[in-house]
Amino acid sequence: MTSVALLRQITDYANRPDPYPLYAELRKTPVVRDEDGPYLVSTYWEIKSLLHDPRVSSDARNLTPEAARGTDLEQDPNLPPAFIRLDPPEHDRLRRLAMRPFGPPHTPRRVFDMHGELTEIVSGLIDALRDRDAIDLVDDFSYPFPVTVICRLLGVPREDEKHFHEWADTIAASLDPPGTDEERQAQQESLRQARGDLAAYLAGLVEERRRAPRDDMLSAMATDHGPDGQMSPVEIITTAALLLVAGHETTVNLITNGMLTLLRNPDVLQRLRSDPGLAVPLVEELLRFEPPVQMLPQRTTLADIDIAGTIIPKGAPLYLMVASGSRDPQRFTDPDRFIPDRTDNQHLGFGHGLHNCFGAPLARLEAQLALTELVRRLDAPRLVEDPPPYRRNAVLRGPRHLPLTVSGIR
Ligand code: HEM
């Protein structure tokens, strides 16, 4: 089968509940390409090596014009890419600047300081479920929790969420491979609109924080003077938009996929209930087994690269199929089994290399706390339907709803 046929199957909504057999098919040829489609890389070692290869760019401006026409939904000249879509040295400068409010590099102090605050938010959301015997885990818990956290961290008023959640959804959906030309055009138009609206909204807030700083990331980015100087106003806006969208659209799926997996494996749910320490390796296993980010669709080559015997030419679009890599039997023993205390678990769930997830310490802590508290406090939770209804997105994959019945809240 060609890569495009497989990519079309992977993005086909009918396969959203279980794309993993398609990845197994894909891994038979580590690098595949159809005539005018992107190169799909699906095996662990090849993906990892490309994620560490300086000849691989995250900046869509390096695509050849023909490749850009097919895949690039980017460029608004007034709004340059955020650092997830930039290469060194700009990437490194902006990532360092964004990291400063978190504390010294590699010690995300601010995240550990948030433990009490996170517990309080989780408890409040679960308390609100008292007197209910049916809940939708997504709307009642998995979505409001990380959104409240990222809003507080950035200093974005939580009550404004009703305005920006649609913009964030549109931006997240734009990561998916475009369909027909018409779909692509419609997608481009709504993306431009959503980006513009979000940028205008954030510009107003940044200005407020510059005049009257508070203890939040927007204020820190607007007033900081460190060894790297300052972010420009546009850089603050694109960085804040990146953090807002990343903090919105990923952790929700990790928590929901986590609860779904636990309910499908009641013995593991029971183990977590009696041993909360299991949450740490269990969340790593979830990031391997049911990762919220299924593929990294936005890479391109800066030179011809020979990988697994295929030459990927300069300027070609690359899709790194990280969810497939994390199930590669060449790397993981028994990869299709969920083993909550798996050791040697260097999954690709947070990417790897210089773009590895900036929010990983926060996302890990959120998921560990959420799952531990949900299994401790929900009495006899049961799935109403399996599989549940999924979001349309293939790249940021997860259930749209997770209806559960419970016999009470402890
Ligand atoms: C990058 C996954 C939560 C901020 C990434 C990448 C992955 C990822 C796979 C690599 C992208 C690439 O290489 O192109 C996840 C998952 C999360 C999560 C699975 C939740 C379970 C968060 C949160 C934040 C965040 C909560 C914000 C606080 C970022 C940023 C980048 C990134 C800023 C870009 C890093 C760079 O380019 O240097 N994330 N993420 N993520 N993530 Fe996350």
Does pLDDT of 337 surpass 50? yes
Tell which atom from ligand 1 comes closest to the C-alpha of 322. Answer: 9
**DSSP structure string for 198-214:** HHHHHHHHHHHHHHS--
The CA distance from 389 to 366, in Å, is 23
For 110-114, 129-133, 221-225, 250-254, which range has the lowest pLDDT when averaged over its residues? 110-114
Q: What is the pTM of this model?
A: 0.94
Tell which atom from ligand 1 comes closest to the C-alpha of 354. Answer: 38
**Closest protein CA for atom 28 of ligand 1:** 359
Does ligand 1 have an atom closer than 6 angstroms to the CB of 300?
no
Does pLDDT of 75 surpass 60? no
Tell which atom from ligand 1 comes closest to the C-alpha of 58. Answer: 14
Does pLDDT of 105 surpass 60? no
> CA triplet 319, 323, 328: central angle to 5 degrees?
105
Note the pLDDT of residue 16: 97
Note the pLDDT of residue 14: 96
* Identity of the amino acid at 212: A
Q: Of residues 351 and 186, which shows the higher confidence score?
A: 351
Choose one of 250, 357, 369 to mutate for the ligand 1 pocket test, by most ligand atoms within 8 angstroms of C-beta.
Answer: 357
Does ligand 1 have an atom closer than 6 angstroms to the CB of 254?
yes
What is the maximum span of the chain, computed from C-alpha positions, in angstroms?
61
> How far is ligand 1, taken at its centre, from the CA of residue 4, in Å?
26
> How far is ligand 1, taken at its centre, from the CA of residue 355, in Å?
8
Note the pLDDT of residue 107: 47
From edge to edge, which strands make up the β-sheet containing 382-383? 134-136, 403-405, 382-383
Helix or strand (DSSP H, E) at 312: strand 310-312
pLDDT digits (tens, 9 = 90+) for 171-211: 888 888 777 777 777 878 888 888 889 999 999 999 999 99
The CA distance from 72 to 65, in Å, is 10
Map out the domains of the chain with their CATH numbers: 3-409 (1.10.630.10)
pLDDT digits (tens, 9 = 90+) for 207-260: 999 999 998 899 999 988 878 888 999 999 999 999 999 988 899 999 999 999
Note the pLDDT of residue 249: 86
> How far is ligand 1, taken at its centre, from the CA of residue 337, in Å?
25
The residues, any chain, with a CB within 8 Å of residue 409's CB and separated by 6 or more, are 126, 127, 129, 130, 132, 377, 378, 379
Note the pLDDT of residue 72: 45
**Closest protein CA for atom 18 of ligand 1:** 250
Does ligand 1 have an atom closer than 6 angstroms to the CB of 292?
yes
Note the pLDDT of residue 35: 62
Note the pLDDT of residue 3: 56
Closest CA to 16 of 320, 399, 288, 321: 399
Look up residue 305 and give its two tokens. Answer: 């690269």
The CA distance from 313 to 320, in Å, is 16
The mean per-residue pLDDT over the stretch 294-305 comes to: 95
ipTM of the complex, rounded to two decimals = 0.98
Choose one of 236, 358, 366 to mutate for the ligand 1 pocket test, by most ligand atoms within 8 angstroms of C-beta.
Answer: 358
**Closest protein CA for atom 24 of ligand 1:** 359
Does pLDDT of 37 surpass 90? no
The mean per-residue pLDDT over the stretch 284-288 comes to: 98
> How far is ligand 1, taken at its centre, from the CA of residue 360, in Å?
7
Note the pLDDT of residue 224: 83
Does ligand 1 have an atom closer than 6 angstroms to the CB of 129?
no
For 23-27, 179-183, 314-318, which range has the lowest pLDDT when averaged over its residues? 179-183
The mean per-residue pLDDT over the stretch 95-124 comes to: 79
Quote the percentage of the chain above a pLDDT of 90: 73
Tell me the pLDDT band of 77, cut-offs 50, 70 and 90.
Answer: low
For 157-161, 280-284, 304-308, which range has the lowest pLDDT when averaged over its residues? 157-161
